[in-house]
Homo-oligomer: A and B are copies of this chain.
Amino acid sequence: MATARVSKSANGKAHTAPQALYQRIRADLEENILSGRWPPGYRIPFEHELVESYNCSRMTVNKVLSGLAAAGVIERKRRVGSFVAKPLVQSAVLHIPDIQAEIAKRGEAYAYELLTRKRRKATKDDLERLGIDKSCDVLVLSCRHIAKGRPFALEERLINLDVVPPASEVDFTRVPPGTWLLGHVPWNEAEHRITASLADDIALKALTLKKPAACLVVERRTWRKNKIITSVRVTYPNDLYQLTARFTPTGLRS
């Protein structure tokens, strides 16, 4: 392994270090986590192992690991080791809602229905939604979430099979795609667009609403290393859902 770092000798401090060493270490660790090579729960190398790999002092490694721990990327336990953090599911920040979990938390009966499932070569429209140029295969899903016997949300989803090939093997008749993705694909970044709209005929029917009905529409795109994993549009009847986001802006505790 030994990511050789030349002599720290004499005067000429390593001129091979293009940037701060600890940033390089951090980038390496993040890469391992983000790529999935080190899945949640994985025990990352001990400090003394990294010290050897990078041929640096423990303080340097410690700074990296403390930083990752502070950012919530890893969890550290004395005498035991450092582990890739689990959740990532619902950041304290903005709730990336797992509808099933959400409803379960409220203690309500939950049901899920897959309406349609199609695999196809991406259309021009699909490509735009996924922010890519060259064509690839996509999975197009439409499904319905039901709470207490009443339709709760209509979900229309596009999955980029180039980024998540295993998704093509999954039969989404029982597991909602959002739940499956959250559990299987690490992600990096998400963007929400939230709008209100009057329900169109498709939505009216899927959600068994009567005209006129206001709906909350959440469009979310989720990234992994600059590639969009999935783009989803979820429509909620106004009286059954509210999106809440609570956050601390900069890391000021208290």
Binding site for B on A (CB under 8 A): 27, 30-31, 33-34, 63, 67-68, 70-73, 85, 88, 91, 93-94, 96, 187-198, 212-217, 223, 225-226, 236, 238, 241-254
Known: A70-B67, A93-B94, A215-B214. A194 touches B254 (CB 8 A): no
Secondary structure at the A interface, as helix, strand, loop or mixed, is mixed
Contact, CB under 8 Å: B190 / A254: no
Residue of B nearest to A192 (CB): B245
Residues of B within 8 A of A93 (CB): 93-94, 247, 249
Of the candidates B71, B196, B243, B254, the one whose C-beta lies within 8 Å of that of A189 is: B254
Of the candidates B27, B91, B214, the one whose C-beta lies within 8 Å of that of A249 is: B91
Q: How far is the CB of A237 from chain B (nearest CB, A)?
A: 9
Contact, CB under 8 Å: A252 / B192: no
Residue of B nearest to A249 (CB): B91
Q: How far is the CA of A212 from the CA of B70 in the complex (A)?
A: 48
Q: How far is the CB of A202 from chain B (nearest CB, A)?
A: 16
Contact, CB under 8 Å: A73 / B251: yes
The 7 closest A-B pairs by CB, nearest first: A71-B251, A212-B212, A196-B196, A214-B214, A196-B216, A91-B249, A191-B246
Centre residue among A34, A85, A195 by max chain B CB count within 10 A? A195
Q: How far is the CB of A73 from chain B (nearest CB, A)?
A: 5
Contact, CB under 8 Å: A242 / B194: yes
Residues of B within 8 A of A33 (CB): 252
Of the candidates B96, B226, B254, the one whose C-beta lies within 8 Å of that of A254 is: B226
Centre residue among A71, A192, A196 by max chain B CB count within 10 A? A196
